[in-house]
Structure formats: C-alpha cells, structure tokens
Amino acid sequence: MKRSSVLPSLVLFSVVALSSAVAIAKPSPPNIILIFVDDMGYGDLACYGNTKNKTPNIDQIAAAGQRWTSFYSSGSTCVPSRKGLMSGRHPVFIPRPANGLKEDRSALMPAMLKRQGYATAILGKWHLAGYPKDFTVDPMHPLECGFDYHYGTPGSNDVPPPPGKKQTREVFDTCDKFSFPVPLIRGREVVEFPVNQELLTRRYTQEAVKWIESQKNERFFLYLAHNMPHAPIFASPEFQNRSAGGRFGDVVEEIDWSVGEVVDAVRRSGIEKETLIIFTSDNGPWSCFGPHGGTAGPLRGEKATTWEGGQRVPAIFYWPGTIQPATVDGIAANLDLYATFAALTGGNPPADKPGYVSTDLSPTLLDGAPSPRNTWAYHQNAFRSGRYKIHVASTPPTDPITRRRRPTTRYETPLLFDLESDLGEQTDVASQYPDVVARLLSEMQAFHGSR
C-alpha cells in the first residue's frame, strides 16, 4: 500500500512544479518600440475619453494590451521628463546644468540595451539637455549616448524661435511651417534647414518602417520620439482640415496613422509576437495656447504644473501573446521603463546612481500583478501615496501672451486630495484627514532627503 501511494504523489508534485515553472518563466527578450509623443494630454485620445479626435490605431492596441490610467511623466516639461526616462533617475536628483547627465552617458537606456546586443535608433526629438550651439558635435548627441542611428531634431520644434520673437500665442497663430529655424539632422549631418514642420510626423514614420524592416532579424530598440503635438503644431497635407478636433485633432490623427504604420510594419516583418510596443507622452498638454494645445480631460492643470494634468499621461503597452488585455489603475512613471527594459532584456540597472528609483513593471505586464509602485513625487511641489496627494506648492501655467512664468503659490497647510473620489483635484480634504497629511509629508521629506 505504501509503495502504491508514492507514484500519485510524485506525479502530483511534478505537475505542481511544472505549473510553477511555467508561471514564472520569462519570455525571450523582446524588440522594443517606444513611441514617445510631445505634449499630448491625458484626454487627447479616444481610448481616454476624447470624443472628437479619431484614434482607431491607438485604440486598437490599447484594447489588445494594457492601458494604464495612473501613469506619470518624470517631469511636467520636456527636458526633466526625458532625463528621467533615459536614466531611470528622478529628475530632482539630476544636476540642473544642461548636460547634467554627461558623465553618465554609458548608464543611459540606449547604452544599457546596446550592451545587451540590441541595435538602437532614435527618430525624432532628443532634448535630453539644453539646446547646444552645434548639436552635431555636442557631447550629449544621441550617437554619444548609446544610439547607433539618429534622425531628428536637437530639441523641441519651437526652439529656436523666429528671430527676435518668443514662443507666444500670437507667434503660434501666425507662423508657417518654415518660421522656426529648426534643423533636421541625420547622424551628424544637417539635411534640411529650416525643416518643413508639416512633414515631420510622416518622415519619422517612413524612417521607422524602413528601420524596422531592416532590423527584423535582430533584436532592436526603436525610440520614436515625435515632435508633435508640441506647439507650433503641423500635420501633413493629407491630414489637414480633417478632424472634428480642429488643427490639433489633425495632428493627433496623423500620429494615430503613424502608430498604425509602425504596427503594420512589425506584423509584415513577422515579429509582432516578439515586439513590445509602448505609447506614451512626455508630459501633459500645453492647454494655455488654446487650439495649439490639447486637453487633460477630467484632470486639473496642464504642462508645467504639478496638478494631475501636468504629469498624468496616456500609457499603453502592447505585446500580443504576452501582455493580456487589461486596464491598470496602479501608479507608474516613465522612468520605470528603464528597470522594466533591464528586467526583460537581462540588462543591469545603474542602481548606484543618485536618485535611481526606476521600478520594474514586468510583473504587472506579464502576470497582471498589482503595480509595484505606490508613490510618486511631482518635482518638489506635490507627492502622491496611494489614493492621496498633497500639494505643498503650485505653479500656474505659463502666460501665453508674454511667455513669462507666473509666481509659485506655497501653502502654509498642504492641500490634500483623494484622487480615487476626486480625480479633478477640486476638494481639499486636509482638514478632515490631518493624519494623512502628516504621513504624506513625512514620506515626501524622506524621498527628497535621500538625495
């Protein structure tokens, strides 16, 4: 009797062990396509509630992948967001000079992936530092930071501004596609100056399709960093005057077309199940510029503010056969992509760098586990922990007429909002929950004190 009971037990043990092994097995390192748009708001896509802009291609990958609803940009403006994204470090810990990451170029995301055998390319806007006098020889040029191939602009499409002018609402109202003296650069060679801004999205897309097809037999990382929909906004002639969302909607709908072209190129190349595609934005919309900016939807605030509208952005993860369709409400940030990519590819994160707080999201992406992140610091003005958020200060949007920054308001008693019941940050509940205010202040101080 004893001997007859051993075999079933061994079989049961083997089945359990095999099931566990299958559950924890990681997929092979994927190709990675990171589509990073500029100044697109939380409410600019149909899959995030927009009723005017038609975005069927983005909606499709959102429905077939994971759509995150509490995903943050590292900063509320271009450069801090990109510093966090490329380094995995919170931008408040990175030195302020333009080239604050110059000594850490080998620790940036593309360099990390290149060491794992990935071919690497950036198409579009770089803007990891300030705007250099000669980008072709800049020490922070993408080719110095781990990219094999580069085609795009040094910074935003409004830098530099037209001679003798600032980037104001009036300038955006009256400019044309050649008004801003922005160069288009391939590698280190200027190929067009000033660039025709109506063609930027189309050119990057065509370049992306060609590059994907050329790399389909190798592991690759493609960083497709669109200049649009950052003001001044332009769409190619085929997309002009088409959208119910006006000129801004035209630009968003061309970006949606671009996403469709990229996904189709991956499918035609037979690598769809081997490719992770991420779509997100660098910060919230520049709504103060009216028709030249987007919308944060139900969120308060916009670009350059630490209200939710300044940093909560769309984020979609698509990897057929690996990521199961879901809506994820947990907290995450674009700087978490560093640790996530490192985990998926076997790379080594730079854990010794000050402010490296990147968190691996792969348990959520692969297994549907809760997000491992529970807190987020909005620069030095605000802090979120779980459902609650405090503001110790706030800064209004830029003045669209003068382009001057408006003064920051500092609160003697921090404002407290319950984001689960008050997504628009309308009702301050600090007086009702002083213990929560104290706890978040303590967590915030501990975070900033760890520098």
Which residues participate in catalysis according to the annotation? 78, 127
3-state SS, residue 236? coil
- Amino acid at position 404, single letter: R
How far CA 177 is from CA of 94, 199, 403, in Å, comes to: 35, 9, 21
Cis (ω within 30 of 0) for the bond into 232?
yes
- Amino acid at position 388, single letter: Y
Per the listing, tokens 């700087």 go with 335
Q: Exposed/middle/buried for 221, CB within 10 Å: 0-12, 13-18, 19+?
A: buried
CA–CA separation, 68 and 382 (whole Å):
21
Residue 181 in contact with residue 194, Cβ under 8 Å?
yes
Residue 364 in contact with residue 331, Cβ under 8 Å?
no
What is the dihedral sign for C-alpha 248, 195, 161, 121? Answer: positive
CA–CA separation, 182 and 231 (whole Å):
13
Q: How far is CA 147 from the centre of its chain?
A: 18
What is the dihedral sign for C-alpha 410, 413, 415, 416? Answer: positive
Would you tell me how many other CB atoms lie within 10 Å of the CB of residue 438? 12
CA–CA separation, 272 and 31 (whole Å):
9
CA angle 40, 46, 47 (to 5 degrees): 95
Helix residue spans in 32-94 (DSSP H): 56-64, 78-87
CA angle 370, 374, 376 (to 5 degrees): 135
List the one residue out of 320, 331, 318, 306 whose CA is nearest residue 397: 306
Residue 292 in contact with residue 231, Cβ under 8 Å?
yes
Cis (ω within 30 of 0) for the bond into 229?
yes
CA angle 187, 193, 197 (to 5 degrees): 95
Burial 194-211 (b: 16+ CB within 10 A, else e): bbebbbbbbbbbebbbeb
